[in-house]
Every structure is written in structure tokens, then in C-alpha cells.
A = this chain, B = another copy of it.
Amino acid sequence: MQSADKPITLQIANRKYARKKIVAIEAAALVFAEKGFHGATTQDIASEMGIQQGSLYYYFKSKEQALQEVCEYGFENYVERMQKIGSKEQPFEAKMLAIVTSHLSNYRSKNNAMKVHNDQRLYLPVERRALIKKLGSEYRELLEGVLKEGIDEGVLRPDIDTHFIAYSIIGICNSWGGNLVRDDALDLFETIEQCSDLILYGTLIPTKRNKHEK
């Protein structure tokens, strides 16, 4: 399954490099998540990888570049997953559960990178944020699309502001995502269920809702 245009040794070298680059990104993610971008040192990252400080520059051109790559890594596959969720035929409640699951489970697999993306991406100069911004917008727009569909299907209240709700969903998820990263004991599935429950049903007892209806 090797492409014919490159010698095998080079492919191996590339693969080796690529593997270690992932290690580098994850080390950077861990350190940035714990200490913040400016509070972290390249020495911290290098130590985390078990290499010398200077050697880090074989993998990142600069500390800023490292932050950028961590943020992008944290968002990888994110949009795709939202696309899949949106395109499937299933009741709205199931979609919402899938959305929250996708968002929160990411915190457990690429936990640090996501946290870094949320908390530290603004320390990047705008030039470096182009891709990250694009992905974030796409994500939110897809989410808004799901919500609009929900309204069209007569499942969601037509008076909600999809833009506002989309932001709020992301806000709740990020808020709990932070807790998930900080606290290993927190149960992922319980958290997912409670989040989607809150988003769907709010806190009031249904029968009391008559008050709300005009």
C-alpha cells in the first residue's frame, strides 16, 4: 500500500517523524492546558517529551506554531462529525444527544488539545487563527442548521433564537468539558445525558409550562 513515487526509507522516516510529531503536539497540549500558553515554557514541553529543549524546534518552528497546531489538532474531525450527525435521519432528541456526545467525548480523547483550543486560541495572532476560525464557524453553523430543522419539523419551539441556542450549547459543553478534563472521576456518559436533558427540557416541570404559553 506504499505509494510508488517515494523510496521506502523516506516513507519510514516520514512515518517516524509523523508519529513523534503527534507526541510533540500532545505534550504541548498537556502543558498548555495546565499552565496556559504564556505560563508554559518550551522546556516544560520538551521535558514532557523526554527530549532537550533545543530539540523541540525540530518539531515546531516556534512556540506559537505549537499552539496553533495544538488548536487545530483539537478541532480535527470535529466538523466532519457534526456533518454526519446532521445528515442522519433520526429524531431531534437523538441528534442532540449525539451532538453533546461528540463534543464531550472529545474532551476525554483529545482532552487537553480541546481545552487549549477553547482557552488559549485567542493568544494567537489573527493570521494564525484563520483555519481555526473557519472550523469554528462551520461547526456553529452546522449546529444552527440542526436546530432550524428541529423547528421546521415542529419539534423545537419556534420562538427560540437558533444563533443564541447554538452558542449556549457550545458554552455548556465547553464548561462541562473543562470539568471533565480537570476531574477524572466525573462520569462522561452521565454528564452527556444531563447536558442534553437540560438543553432539551429545561428545568421546569412540564405541567407548569402552561404559564409560559400564551
Contact = CB atoms under 8 A, between A and B. Distances in A.
A171 B202 CA distance: 15
A203 to B, nearest CB: 5
B157 A168 contact: no
A209 B203 contact: no
**In the complex, which of the residues A194, A206, A210 has the most CB atoms of chain B within 10 Å of its own CB atom?**
A206
Contacts of A157: 201, 203-206
A48 interface: no
A172 to B, nearest CB: 5
Given A36-B37, A175-B171, A175-B174, A198 B156 contact: no
Interface string A141-183: 0000001001000111100110011011011101110010000
Interface of A is mostly: helix
A24 B213 CA distance: 49
Contact of A198 (B93, B155, B168): B168
A161 B195 CA distance: 11
Interface residues of A, number: 47
A39 interface: yes
Nearest to A165: B203
Contacts of A150: 203
Given A37-B39, A199-B202, A202-B202, 17 more contacts: A35-B38, A36-B38, A36-B123, A37-B38, A93-B211, A119-B119, A157-B201, A164-B198, A167-B179, A168-B175, A168-B176, A171-B176, A198-B199, A200-B202, A200-B212, A206-B210, A206-B212
Interface of A: 35-39, 92-93, 119, 123, 147, 150, 154-157, 160-161, 164-165, 167-168, 170-172, 174-176, 179, 191, 194-195, 197-206, 208-213
